[in-house]
């Protein structure tokens, strides 16, 4: 009971210290940051959400589909429930590695105050490292503007080499700032890995990335900025934190004022709950206030972006720039690739297609589903026949029965007794008494029983079979 209460003391919805106050507590020892998409949203970077970027991509794509292709209007951008990863996967399945160049559209603007302040803290050797899931290059631009030398780690081999070169007597010895882009970077499109639904099946940190992360966690406090944390609900991340938790020095998770909910923090961070703390701060304002109210002799704040008077105009300008990039990118795609994407995307966005899939799902909800294990069973039967364990006639009979059982799995289970009765009674002579024709009879029933009751499906199937 004591353990349960301790875990639940990690309450994401209670009042917390400000980001500015917690930064003052860790500034002398230094820290590293884990940054998500939220750090690139404020102006002038104005990064889109995955949902809005997906919409921009599709609007631009379908806007260039020739009218003479005859794509119906209701085949375009109608299904609002599709996940961005599904769209990205469709594009990458046709375009392969060429697709990832599209993410260069995220670099059309310039660094915001979050990027600039992180670069300034890195220059002052307060920020020791940054791990980010972002593809854009605003952090790199900010670091270069500040004259910060840094190691950029993107691919697994780079993480491995870095660890081999910087672990001295079991401890990480840094010579300069390190930027870890764990999902890839637009400067190397082939490294971008976190966009397709296939990625969801293998979420988690690779071994070299996990090893560096654990080394940093054991040495410095970790500040989370602009990261939702929903990925951490995945079992692979939970396993990582279960192992890494005991060596964590401190975790500070920043949330916007009045932000509620999130992943299961209690479960994820159960092995380091005594070193986990939430804080609140609106980005970039909280960081700007910290810089103004904290005396750091080596840091100049003169070149921070001033307050923007017309934020909507700035966001629209960034969106327009992305549109120009997307239009050019799509214009250069081969026509065959465009046609392939139209065939995939238009059908999946069509209201008619969505309705058809809904009906199909309802119809098949009460079936067992076709099993492909019968292929192995057929192979086993063939092997038995080869070994002369069964005769050719026995093989043919059992193969027919196996196929029959497998096809029946696609039919509603409550229909099975009616079908078996019709076969056993030989209701349709020449069909139900013929082992060759009866399987084709079942195939007809499979289709027709989706739209008619079982007795009507039986009659129609017999009619088609004659």
- Ordered DSSP codes for 352-394: HHHHHHHHHHHHHTTS----STHHHHHHHHHHHHHTTSS-HHH
What's the rounded Cα separation, in Å, for the pair 356 and 347? Answer: 11
* β-sheet with 150-153: strand ranges across: 17-18, 276-280, 251-255, 222-225, 31-35, 127-132, 177-181, 150-153
Question: What's the whole-number average pLDDT of the chain?
Answer: 83
The confidence score (pLDDT) of residue 343 equals: 74
> Quick count: other Cβ atoms within 10 Å of Cβ 127?
22
pLDDT band at 437 (very low <50, low <70, confident <90, very high): confident
Q: What secondary structure, in 3-state letters, does 241-302 show?
A: HHHHHHHCCCEEEEECCCCCCCCCHHHHCHHHHHHEEEEECCCCHHHHHHHHHCCCCCCCCC
Residues near 71 by beta carbon (within 8 Å), at least 6 away in sequence? 62, 65, 342, 346
Name the phi and psi angles at 66, rounded to 5: -60, 140
Question: Which helix (DSSP H) or strand (DSSP E) does residue 457 occupy?
Answer: helix 454-465
Q: 80-117, pLDDT tens digit by residue?
A: 666 787 788 888 878 888 898 999 999 999 999 999 99
pLDDT at residue 192 is higher than 50: yes
Q: 302-326, pLDDT tens digit by residue?
A: 778 777 778 889 999 999 999 999 9
Homologous superfamily of domain range 2-47+109-301? TPP-binding domain (3.40.50.1220)
Higher pLDDT, 223 or 62: 223
Domain boundaries defined on the chain? 2-47+109-301, 50-107+315-362, 366-465
What's the rounded Cα separation, in Å, for the pair 320 and 43? Answer: 14
The confidence score (pLDDT) of residue 129 equals: 98
pLDDT at residue 39 is higher than 70: yes
């Amino acid at each position: 009971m004591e353990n349960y209460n301790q875990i639940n003391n990690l309450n994401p919805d209670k009042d917390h210290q400000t980001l500015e106050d917690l930064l003052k507590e860790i500034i002398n020892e230094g820290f590293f940051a884990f940054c998500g998409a939220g750090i690139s949203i404020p102006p002038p970077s104005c990064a889109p959400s995955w949902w809005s970027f997906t919409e921009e991509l599709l609007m631009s794509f379908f806007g260039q589909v020739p009218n003479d292709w005859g794509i119906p209007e209701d085949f375009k951008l109608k299904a609002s429930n599709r996940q961005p990863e599904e769209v990205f996967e469709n594009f990458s399945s046709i375009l392969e590695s060429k697709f990832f160049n599209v993410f260069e559209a995220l670099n059309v603007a310039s660094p915001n105050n979050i990027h600039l302040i992180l670069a300034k803290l890195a220059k002052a050797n307060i920020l020791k490292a940054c791990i980010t899931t972002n593809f854009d290059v605003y952090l790199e631009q900010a670091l270069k503007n500040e004259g910060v030398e840094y190691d950029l780690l993107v691919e697994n081999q780079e993480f491995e080499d870095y660890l081999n070169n910087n672990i001295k007597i079991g401890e990480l010895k840094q010579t300069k700032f390190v930027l870890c882009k764990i999902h890839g970077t637009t400067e190397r499109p082939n490294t971008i890995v976190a966009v397709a639904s296939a990625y969801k099946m293998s979420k988690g940190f690779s071994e070299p990335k996990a090893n560096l992360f654990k080394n940093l966690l054991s040495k410095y406090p970790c500040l989370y900025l602009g990261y939702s944390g929903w990925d951490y609900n995945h079992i692979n991340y939970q396993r990582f934190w279960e192992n890494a938790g005991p060596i964590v020095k401190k975790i500070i998770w920043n949330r916007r004022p009045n932000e509620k909910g999130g992943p299961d923090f209690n479960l994820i961070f159960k092995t380091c709950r005594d070193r986990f703390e939430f804080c609140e701060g609106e980005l970039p304002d909280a960081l700007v206030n910290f810089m103004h109210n904290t005396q750091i002799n080596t840091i100049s704040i003169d070149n921070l972006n001033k307050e923007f008077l017309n934020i909507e105009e700035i966001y629209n300008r960034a969106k327009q720039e992305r549109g120009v990039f997307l239009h050019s990118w799509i214009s250069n795609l081969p026509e065959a690739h465009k046609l392939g994407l139209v065939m995939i995307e238009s059908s999946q966005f069509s209201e008619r297609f969505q309705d058809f899939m809904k009906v199909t799902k309802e119809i098949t909800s009460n079936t067992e589903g076709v099993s492909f294990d019968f292929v192995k069973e057929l192979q086993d039967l063939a092997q038995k026949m080869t070994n002369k364990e069964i005769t050719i006639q026995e093989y043919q009979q059992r193969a027919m029965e196996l196929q029959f059982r497998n096809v029946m799995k696609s039919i509603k289970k409550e229909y099975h007794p009616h079908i078996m009765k019709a076969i056993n009674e030989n209701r349709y002579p020449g069909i139900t008494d013929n082992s060759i024709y009866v399987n084709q009879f079942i195939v007809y029933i499979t289709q027709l029983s989706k739209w008619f009751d079982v007795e009507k499906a039986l009659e129609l199937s017999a009619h088609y079979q004659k």
